[in-house]
Amino acid sequence: MTIDMAQFHQVFFDESFEGLDIMESGLLDMDAGNADLEQINAIFRAAHSIKGGSGTFGFTNISDFTHVMETLLDEMRDGRRQVSADAINVLLRSVDVLREMLTAASEDGELNEAHVREQQAELERVLNEGAQAGASSAEETAAPPETRQPTGWHIVFRPHAHMMRTGNDPVRILRELSSLGELEVEADLSDLPSLDEIEPEDCYLSWDLRLTGDVSRDQLDDVFAWVEDDCDLAIMPMLPEQPAAAPDPAPAVEAGATEPVAPQVKAVPAPEERRNGVDRRGEGDRRKGDRRKSATASQGSSSIRVDISKIDALINMVGELVITQSMLSLLGEDFDMSRVERLQEGLSQLERHTREMQESVMQIRMLPISFTFSRFPRLVHDLSTKMGKKIELKMTGETTEVDKTVIEKIGDPLVHLVRNSLDHGIELPADRIAAGKPETGTVELNASHRGGNIIIEIKDDGKGLNPDVLLNKAIERGLVPADANLTDQQIYELIFMAGFSTAEQVSDVSGRGVGMDVVRRNINELGGSIEIWSELGKGSSFTIRLPLTLAILDGQTVSVGEETYIVPLVSIIESIQIQADMINLVAGKGETFKLRDEYLPIVRLHQVLGIEGAKATELTEGLLVVVEGEGRRCGLFVDDLLGQQQVVIKSLEANYRKVDGISGATILGDGSVALILDVPGLIRLAGRGGARDEREMRLSA
């Protein structure tokens, strides 16, 4: 029977990665002294499952590695070993290595094998410290020395009375033996009681067996492996030189033989393992092929684990939809105007069901943000140890559901922000005490739904941002003129400018050459925004606002000439009809308008996007949509506002390419395509004096 084991690989990887998360969070709890026995059991079980699965599915390096972890965990679980901080740290690092190994196996990627060996050696070091030496070596030396090949075996097999109550049947064993070679059976009925004393569930027979043929000791051990403790057993080789029949195999031999046999039977694991080893090698090539196949199959089609209740909701919805559809088609078969009311009713039902179904389908893409948050306890633990700081991480709202793509893309920005808080925010314990604060700093990570958005907040009670220092640095870097007169809030915004964080402040922790400008850009690419708040000496917080889903957007349709564009509602502050006295022409900076106390630049959409036939060319003829992106505001000049609607976001890049100032496209009710504006991109485009200039700049660069 050939079974393609590759078909189980994806499930194995999924559950193994989940197991790693369980191990990691459990180990962190153990580190904090919070773990109870059930949690340690859960960690052990996760390691155990990974080991079992990886062995079965052919990832022997993973099962070998996990084996050492499992042994260590098993001893901790049984209380045979003290749980030391060292052991936990080694186990945590091993979880990382295991994750690398699983990732490499699932993506058919490269694995740093030296790294694995190093970590395995580290595990073995911990394992050997304080372990009773000898236990394992004794087992190994017990392997029987292989001598002359016997012509057969003389076996005395005396089942204990209860054997059948273990589900084992002596007849099965005899049957198996007879399948190995020629079997002579002599039954010993001497223990059979009289009929009225007989217990039908007990076994009274014993056998004297002679098995001839090319049968190895290992094969016999296999046959008796399950019953070795449920019988008296003697197995003696029949060697070529000797006469086939041993003179008297009765009680004396049996008693003598059981003793040397016992340790040999204990050695069953060794030959078994050897045999499996051969199997593994034999199948190695095939497996490699299988794995590659499954890897290519999984590329591009990333999978998602969906709560079954979400699928059920969807199925219900489809059921409703089908009913409505059949009702409508019945109506259509024989329609007259008297039934127009029925039709309208049906159509509104259809609309409601379609909308509900859309929501349910969107729900499938939603995952709890704990998928992202779960890495932070570890990160904070490792970094605070490294930095000599005392930091408590508080997380709330881990069950908040966000789009799968957000989960995938928000990780790096969040890591950067949390690292920043640990590195630049929270002070050293001594400094905190000196400042009259508790010795342990707090970093909070909160997620919540607010309005149609997801809010993620990263907050610390550290030293806060110092506006003077930031401003001086920005002036030094030439990012703002020396005489700039900025509010504190405007100064905080400077940290998001490209070129603000430089080598000087790149540390081991928050360095890595990624600046806050990249963080903001990543968040903008998800259609979100980030805001900053800080108070000197008290702490800082970053608030990330993200759309609920990336597949659908609430948009404002606007018209310019013959064209229709979508402005994401989330970036619109307000829309105004502009009065002549609001307009200002600033030399070198173009048109601005005064909104309350602020002067904002005007971006003429028809100019920046090169649209011909705009109806409104005088500012007072059209409308200004006041938008904000990347902390900058401006007024988008359009002909008219058309309406608000939810639009399904389509990619322009799938068949074409990225277009400056455009984030995607959508299909309107009439089937035509409308482009969705990328507000931050447009502001950048306008700031550089339109696309044409920009292209020239790019060419000359």
Partner 1 sequence: MASILAVDDSASMLQMVAFTLKGAGYDVVEASDGLQALEVARKQSVNLVITDVNMPRMDGITLIKELRALPAYKFTPLLMLTTESSPEKKQQGKAAGATGWIVKPFNPDQLLNTVKKVLG
Partner 2 sequence: MAEANAKIMTNPQEEECLDEFGAQYLTFSLADEEYGVDILRVQEIRGWETVTRVPNAPSYVKGVLNLRGSIVPIFDLRERFNLARQAYTKDTVVVVLRVTAAGGMRIMGVVVDAVSDVLNASDDGITSTPDFGGSVATEFISGLVSAGGKMIMLLDVDRLLSQDEGIDQGERDHEDQ
> Please, what is the minimum distance in Å from the beta carbon of residue 524 to partner 1?
38
From 17, 67, 212, 328, residue interacting with partner 1 (rule: CB under 8 A): 67
Q: Please answer whether residues 328 and 334 qualify as being in contact, where contact means their C-beta atoms are separated by less than 8 angstroms.
A: no
> Please, what is the minimum distance in Å from the beta carbon of residue 80 to partner 2?
51
How far is it, in rounded angstroms, from Cα 564 to Cα 670?
12
Q: Please answer whether residues 557 and 564 qualify as being in contact, where contact means their C-beta atoms are separated by less than 8 angstroms.
A: yes
Which of partner 2, partner 1, none has residue 662 at its interface (CB below 5 to 8 Å by kind)?
Answer: partner 2
Is 655 catalytic? The answer is no
Quickly list H helices, 4-112. 9-31, 37-56, 60-77, 85-107
- Does position 657 bind partner 2 by CB under 8 A? yes
- Does position 656 bind partner 2 by CB under 8 A? yes
Tell me which residues in 606-635 interact with partner 2 (CB under 8 A).
609-611
From 126, 422, 619, 662, residue interacting with partner 2 (rule: CB under 8 A): 662
Which of partner 2, partner 1, none has residue 652 at its interface (CB below 5 to 8 Å by kind)?
Answer: partner 2
Which of partner 2, partner 1, none has residue 51 at its interface (CB below 5 to 8 Å by kind)?
Answer: partner 1
DSSP string, 52-72: HHHHHTT-HHHHHHHHHHHHH
From 77, 93, 286, 650, residue interacting with partner 2 (rule: CB under 8 A): 650
Site string for partner 2, 299-328 (x = CB under 8 A): -x----------------------------
How far is it, in rounded angstroms, from Cα 622 to Cα 609?
16
Is 466 catalytic? The answer is no
Q: Which of 679, 480, 686, 675 is nearest to 602 (CA)?
A: 686
In this structure, how many other beta carbons lie within 10 angstroms of the beta carbon of residue 545? 18
From 29, 39, 55, 477, residue interacting with partner 1 (rule: CB under 8 A): 55
From 80, 117, 162, 695, residue interacting with partner 2 (rule: CB under 8 A): 695
Pick the catalytic residue: 24, 70, 457, 563?
70
Query: Largest Cα–Cα distance of the chain, in whole Å?
Result: 124
- Does position 692 bind partner 2 by CB under 8 A? yes
From 279, 476, 562, 696, residue interacting with partner 1 (rule: CB under 8 A): 279
Tokens of 632: 């900058």
Which of partner 1, partner 2, none has residue 594 at its interface (CB below 5 to 8 Å by kind)?
Answer: none
| Consecutive H or E run containing 281 | helix 269-298
Is 70 catalytic? The answer is yes
Closer residue to partner 1 (CB): 85 or 143: 143
- In the block, residue with structure tokens 């003829």: 621
Stretch that binds partner 1, among 2-10, 406-414, 439-447, 464-472 (CB under 8 A): 2-10
Report helix angle 85-107 to 60-77, nearest 10: 160
361 dihedral zone (left: phi>0; alpha: psi -120 to 50; beta): alpha
> Please, what is the minimum distance in Å from the beta carbon of residue 286 to partner 1?
11
DSSP state for residue 364 in the 8-state scheme: H
From 100, 124, 176, 232, residue interacting with partner 1 (rule: CB under 8 A): 176
Q: What are phi and psi of 673, to 5 degrees?
A: -95, 135
Sheet of strand 583-586, all strands in order from the earlier edge strand to the far edge: 572-576, 623-629, 632-638, 598-604, 590-595, 583-586
Pick the catalytic residue: 154, 420, 446, 606?
420
Tokens of 494: 């400077």
| Burial class of 391 by CB neighbour count within 10 A (0 to 12, 13 to 18, 19+) | buried
- Does position 697 bind partner 2 by CB under 8 A? no
How far is it, in rounded angstroms, from Cα 169 to Cα 192?
17
86-92-94 Cα angle (round to 5):
105
Which of partner 1, partner 2, none has residue 671 at its interface (CB below 5 to 8 Å by kind)?
Answer: partner 2
- Does position 617 bind partner 1 by CB under 8 A? no
Binding site for partner 2 (CB under 8 A): 300, 563, 609-611, 650-662, 665, 667, 671-675, 691-692, 695
Binding site for partner 1 (CB under 8 A): 1, 3, 5, 7-9, 11-12, 14-15, 41-42, 44-45, 48-49, 51-57, 63, 67, 70-71, 74, 164-169, 172, 175-176, 201, 225-227, 229-230, 266, 269, 272-273, 276, 279-280, 283
| Catalytic residue ranges | 48, 70, 420
